[in-house]
Amino acid sequence: MAAPPPSAAPLPPRPAGVGGWLASRWELVALVLLAAAPLCIPALGGALGGQVTTLFIYCILALALNVMVGYTGLVHLGIASFFGIGAYCLAILTVPMYPFRIGFLPAAVVAVLVTAGTGLALGAPTLRLRGDYLAIVTLGFGEVAKVTLRNLEQITGGMKGLNPVPPPGAGVTVAGLDLGKAFAIDPRWFYYLSLLSLAGVVLAMRRLETSRLGRALVAVREDELAAQAMGISATRVKLSAFAMSSAVAGLAGCLYAASLSTTADPNAYDFNRSIMVLCAVILGGLGSIPGTILGVAILVGFDTVLAPWADSWIQQMNINPSGSSALSFSGWRLAIFGLALVFVMRYRPEGLIPSRRLAAELHEEGP
C-alpha cells in the first residue's frame, strides 16, 4: 500500500498521576486481580467459577464484535453464528462420534481458520452494502447458519448438538494428574484457560488499535471515501475486519463448547445472542476495550450470575413461599434488563466507558 493511513483526530493526553497510571494500565491491574481471585475467593472453585468463565468467553466474543462495529463501523447482527461455527468445528474435530479426535489446541486452530474463512466468504459478496443493509445480511446469515446447523443432523447432531466435547488435555497425564479430569472437575482450570485467552485477545486488540491496519479500520469507519482517497483499500480493510472478527468469535466458540462439554443446540447461537453481545458492546462504549468488557460484565453477568443468585436468595429468605412469579426475581428479569439498557443509553449515550477517540469527537461536535 502507498501512503500511511491518516490518523484520526489527535487524542487528548491521558491524565497524569497514580490514577492515570492505573487508567492506562487497567488491563494489567485487572489481569493480576482476576488471576489472584480464585486463590482468595473460594467460591470461584465452585459454580461461580463456571459462571465467571462464561463471562470471560462472552468478553472475547464481544471484543470480536467490537472489531466490526466499534473499529470499522459495520453493524453486525450475526456474530453468534460465528461463535456457533467455531463451537461446532471444535466439536467435530474432538467428539468421539467422529474419527478425528484430535487435541484441543490443534482443533481450536483449525476452527479459528474455518471461521475466519467463513467470515471472508460472507464479507466478500456483501462489501457493497452499506449500514443497515449489511446489518440485515449478517442477521440473515445468522438465521441461515442456525437452520442449517439444526437440519444437517447427520453432521451436527441436530438439536441434540454434539457432545460430549472432551476437555482440553483429555487423556493427557502430566505427573500423575489427568488433565482432562482436572478440567472437568475443577472450574478453576477453565477459569485460567479463558482468562489467558481473554488476556491474549485484549493484547492483540491493543496492538491492533495502534497498528497500521487498526488505524485504517477507523479511517474507513469515519469516512470511507476519504480513506480511499488516501490510498486505503476499503475492500481489504473491511475483509480484514470480517476475518479478524470471525476468527476471534470462533475462538470464543471453541472455549464455549469445551467448557460446557457440548456444543449446545443451534438455538444457543441465534439472533438473541447476537443482539445481547451487540448491546454489551454499545452499552460499554463502541471501540473501547474496557467498555466492551464492562458491558459484558453487566449484561451477561446479570443473566448468568446475578439473576440466579437473586432468585435463590429470595427463596432462602422465604419471601415467596407460594412461588408466585410476581414475587420472584425471574418474573421481573426482562423488565429490569430492559430498563437498564434504556437508562444507560439515556444518560450515557456514548457508552459507559467511551473510547477516547470517540469521546473526543463527540465533544468537538457537541452542541
Partner 1 sequence: MFFLQQCLIGLTNGALVALVALGYTMVYGIIGLINFAHGDLIMLGACLALTLVGALGIAAGGGAATWAGVAALVLLCGLFCGGLNVAVDRIVYKPLRNAPKLAPLVSAIGVSFIFMNAGLFWLGPADRSFPDLVPSTNLLAHDGLQFTLKDLLVVLVVVPLMVGLSLLVRTTRLGKAMRAVSQDPVAAALVGVDVDRVIAATFFIGGFLGGAASVIYGLYINTIGFQMGFQNGLYAFTAAVLGGIGSIPGAVLGGLVIGLVRALSSAYVGERWTGAIVFAILIVILVFRPEGLLGRRTREKV
Partner 2 sequence: MSPPEAAAAGRSRYGGPVAGAMGRFYDSRMPFPASCRRRALFLAALVAAWGLPGCRPADPDLVKIVSSLPRTGSAKHQSDTLVRGIRMAIEEAGGRVGPYRVEYLDLDDSTAAAGQWTSEAEAANARRALQDPDVCAYIGTFNSGAAKVSMPILNLGDLLMVSPANTAVGLTKPGLGMPGEPEVYRPTGRRNYTRVVPADDLQGPMAADWAARRNKKRVYILDDNEVYGKGIADLFEERCRELGIEVLGHDSIDAKAQEFKSLMASIKAAGPDLVYFGGTTQSKGGQLAKDMAAAGIGADLMVPDGCLEQVFIDSAGAANLEERCYVTFGGLPPERLEGKGGEFVARYRDRYGEFPEAYAVYGYEAARVALHAIATAGVKDRRAITDAALAIRDFDGALGHWGFDDNGDTTLRTLTVNVVRGGRFELFEILDGATLADAPDPAPVAPAPDAPPSS
Confirm if 283 and 353 have CB atoms less than 8 A apart.
no
C-beta of 46: minimal distance to partner 2 in Å? 3
Residue 302 is a binding residue for partner 1 (CB under 8 A): no
Residue 224 touches which member of partner 2, partner 1, none, C-beta under 5-8 Å by kind: none
Q: Which of 4, 46, 106, 338 binds partner 1 (CB under 8 A)?
A: 338
Residue 233 is a binding residue for partner 2 (CB under 8 A): no
> Rounded to whole angstroms, how far apart are CA atoms 33 and 284?
21
Q: Give the dihedral of Cα atoms 279, 284, 290, 293; nearest 10 deg.
A: -40
> Rounded to whole angstroms, how far apart are CA atoms 264 and 253?
11
200/231 with CB nearer partner 2: 200
C-beta of 279: minimal distance to partner 1 in Å? 5
Nearest Cα neighbor of 91 from 252, 245, 261 is 261
Site string for partner 2, 296-335 (x = CB under 8 A): -------xx--xx--xx--xx------x-x--x-x--xx-
Confirm if 300 and 280 have CB atoms less than 8 A apart.
yes
User: Considering only residues 139-168, where is the footprint of partner 2 by CB under 8 A?
Assistant: 147, 150-151, 157-161, 163-164
Residue 329 is a binding residue for partner 1 (CB under 8 A): no
Residue 177 Ramachandran class (φ > 0 left, ψ -120 to 50 alpha, else beta): beta
Q: Burial code of 302-334, b = ≥16 C-beta within 10 A, e = fewer?
A: eebbbbeebbeeeeeeeebeeeeeeebbeeebe
User: Considering only residues 63-92, where is the footprint of partner 2 by CB under 8 A?
Assistant: none
Nearest Cα neighbor of 238 from 256, 257, 219 is 219
Residue 283 is a binding residue for partner 2 (CB under 8 A): no
The window from 46-54, 112-120, 121-129, 236-244 that contacts partner 2 (CB under 8 A) reads 46-54
C-alpha cell at 124: 466478500
The window from 59-67, 103-111, 216-224, 257-265 that contacts partner 2 (CB under 8 A) reads 257-265
C-alpha cell at 12: 487528548
Residue 143 is a binding residue for partner 1 (CB under 8 A): yes
Residue 7 is a binding residue for partner 2 (CB under 8 A): no
233/328 with CB nearer partner 2: 328
Q: Which residue has the cell 414475587?
A: 327
Give me the residues that bind partner 1 (CB under 8 A), please: 69, 75, 125-126, 128-130, 132-133, 135-137, 139-141, 143-144, 146-148, 150-151, 271-272, 275, 278-279, 282-283, 286, 325-326, 331-335, 337-342, 344-346, 349-350, 358, 362, 367
